[in-house]
Amino acid sequence: MSRFSERVSAAVAAKNSCLVVGLDPVLARLPAEVTADATGPAAITAFAREVIAAVAPFAVAIKPQIAFYETFGAAGWTAYEETIALAQSHGLLVIGDIKRGDIGSTAAAYAEAHLQRRTDHPTADAVTVNPYLGSDGVRPFVDAARANDAGLFVLVRTSNPSAGEIQALELRDGGTVDERVAALVNEWGSDDGSTPYTDVGAVVGATTSTALARLRGAMPRAWFLVPGVGAQGGTAADIVAAFGADGRGVLVNASRSILYAHEARPDVPWRKAIADAAQTLRDELRDAARAATTP
Amino acid sequence: MSRFSERVSAAVAAKNSCLVVGLDPVLARLPAEVTADATGPAAITAFAREVIAAVAPFAVAIKPQIAFYETFGAAGWTAYEETIALAQSHGLLVIGDIKRGDIGSTAAAYAEAHLQRRTDHPTADAVTVNPYLGSDGVRPFVDAARANDAGLFVLVRTSNPSAGEIQALELRDGGTVDERVAALVNEWGSDDGSTPYTDVGAVVGATTSTALARLRGAMPRAWFLVPGVGAQGGTAADIVAAFGADGRGVLVNASRSILYAHEARPDVPWRKAIADAAQTLRDELRDAARAATTP
């Protein structure tokens, strides 16, 4: 298996897409057809199966949000692993949205749990990591990622309304907290430079064009995982500044705007509503990537 | 059931102890007697059962570190829940060391998974939370805690070597990142003021006496959960400055120095080595609390 960054590059090129579909499954919002046949975590898995099949032609990766699985305890954990295996069987990359982060020995345990390839439990191709504990909370994930041809996306700037409370604090020596984290991401991702991008990416919310350009400048070789498009209000056009000069380097996540696309289109079969939403966003993102390389 | 902060106060008074025993179980370090009879998560649970019984007279709470359980997948999750139930059956509080944190709707799912009392899954009395996403990543935990007579410990200053990379950054407007987080913790914990402490505590590493005093000043009504004593190098005497003026307000966690106390004492039965280590640290902490109230 090749390095994570190369697998992402290959998938983006093959599908001419930078779309990631986030799986944030909430029972109350699943199509009635799904919840008629299954309950609890079984319904979540059944829905994930249909979503994955519907979006596979348009998306390069699936991002299951583990919080929604944890609400079901051990059975939810099994459903999370089943979702990973389902997506991988469709040739999709899986980004486990786990946002873990802890001191060294504990971070190593998380990295083992979530990135170490094993025969008994499917694991994600990459995970999200929280940087608040600094290098020794992140390095074990970097090491595990490299040992397993997997990747990371470190939270740099998130897309929620209060993200700036800590992330945008201005520092005495210049710059902001998120810029300092970006510098660390650049350092953590440092490698032999043989590929355009590294295996240590960054979560960078679709906030302002200025913020995206600033963080791209600080992390020229990081894959950006950009949340906040769709239900959280960002548009494809907002993220032009996130792309590298080659029109690559960006994965855009949309969750609720795709998963629950059927709610706004009761006249259309729900699988088609989901597939249509994925295709439409894929096309918009393709235009944004093209705009990024147009002088 | 009474509020979390009051349950902590009652436990600390009843046992004249502020000791929390962290459960960071690593198979390779368990006593041979345990691993002879059980493997994998069953061994972890068997060990937890013995540790809980050994330390129950001296500790007020147990802090299972969920990362070590996650390495076993769904079976690990079940072992985590079993550990919670075992500790609670001994009258111990349980602090789930999960360090979760995410955007609002996801944080609400984590809070439901880990704090909502339910008949089918035991849940912790409190959990640790990462503040990097700001208020809307923490408020759902605060709300869930209050609705369930549970508590939180927000990461303010951790005990690992690289903690300062982000947490100690100095801000343009004065103070440091951890002080800004401390101000937020104070705000999140704001309540009717009818009790000495609130249900929103803080993780504050046993770093310097100056740092502890500074953060106590910023969070006068927060329970401090202080890691870093024992295997990470801090001593009981280091934490005198963390206590409130009433000699309360502090819980001190020790994990590996208690769990693996038998490794350094091969001549003593392992359960006794663990109980002795807990009793010794409990006594040292009692002296530190007394020193905090001595003019």
Beta carbons of A132 and B135 less than 8 Å apart: no
A63: annotated active-site residue: no
Task: Out of B74, B170, B184, name the one closest to residue A78 (CB).
Answer: B74
Indicate which CATH number applies to the domain containing A58: 3.20.20.70
Q: Which helix (H) or strand (E) holds A120?
A: none
Q: Which residue stretches of A169-251 are H helix?
A: 177-188, 209-218
Q: Give how far B113 is from chain A: nearest CA, Å.
A: 4
CA distance, residue B163 to nearest chain A CA (Å): 5
Query: Are A166 and B130 within 8 A, CB to CB?
Result: no
* Cβ pairs bridging A and B (under 8 Å): 171
Interchain pair B134, A169: CB under 8 A: no
Provide the residue type at A225 as one letter: L
SS3 B193: coil
Q: In one letter, which amino acid is B143? A: D
ipTM (interface pTM): 0.96
pLDDT band at A207 (very low <50, low <70, confident <90, very high): confident
Q: Which amino acid is at B35?
A: T
Burial A229-247 (b: 16+ CB within 10 A, else e): bbbbebebebbbbbbbeeb
Determine the pLDDT at residue B114. Answer: 98
Domain range for B208 is 4-293
| B180: closest chain A residue by CA | A166
Is the pLDDT at A211 greater than 90, yes or no?
no
Q: Which residue of B has its CA nearest to A102?
A: B99
Query: Cβ–Cβ of B162/A75 closer than 8 Å?
Result: no
- Give the side-chain half-sphere CA count within 13 A for B112: 15
Angle between helices A73-89 and A40-55 (to 10 degrees): 20
How many domains does the structure of chain B reveal? 1
A165/B159 CB distance under 8 A: no
pLDDT of residue A272: 97
Give the C-alpha separation, B255 to B64, whole Å.
9
Which of B134, B135, B166 is closest, CB to CB, to A181? B166
> How does pLDDT run across A37-71, given as a tens digit for each residue?
999 999 999 999 999 999 999 999 999 999 999 99
Residues of B in contact with A177 (CB under 8 A): 166, 169, 177
Counted residue by residue, chain A has a size of: 295
pLDDT at residue A229 in the model: 81
CB neighbour class for A104 (10 Å; exposed up to 12, middle 13-18, buried from 19): middle
Confidence (pLDDT) at B238: 82
pLDDT at B234: 74
Q: What mean pLDDT comes out for the span A63-90?
A: 97
Mean of the per-residue pLDDT values of chain A: 94
- pLDDT, position A245: 80
Instruction: Please give the model's pTM, rounded to 2 decimal places.
Output: 0.97
DSSP structure string for B52-65: HHHHTTT-SEEEEB
pLDDT of residue B295: 67
- Tell me the C-alpha distance between A21 and A33, whole Å: 21
Looking up tokens 């994570």 gives A4
Residues of B in contact with A99 (CB under 8 A): 100-102, 130
What is the CB neighbour count within 10 angstroms for residue A271?
Answer: 16
pLDDT in tens, A130-185: 999 999 999 999 999 999 999 999 999 998 999 999 999 999 999 999 999 999 99
Per-residue pLDDT of chain B (295 residues; tens, 9 = 90+): 799 999 999 999 999 999 999 999 999 999 999 999 999 999 999 999 999 999 999 999 999 999 999 999 999 999 999 999 999 999 999 999 999 999 999 999 999 999 999 888 899 999 999 999 999 999 999 999 999 999 999 999 998 999 999 999 999 999 999 999 999 999 999 999 999 999 999 999 977 788 899 999 999 999 999 997 876 677 888 888 899 888 899 999 999 999 999 999 999 999 999 999 999 999 999 988 888 887 6
Least Cα separation, residue A55 to chain B (angstroms): 22
**pLDDT score of A232 more than 90:** no
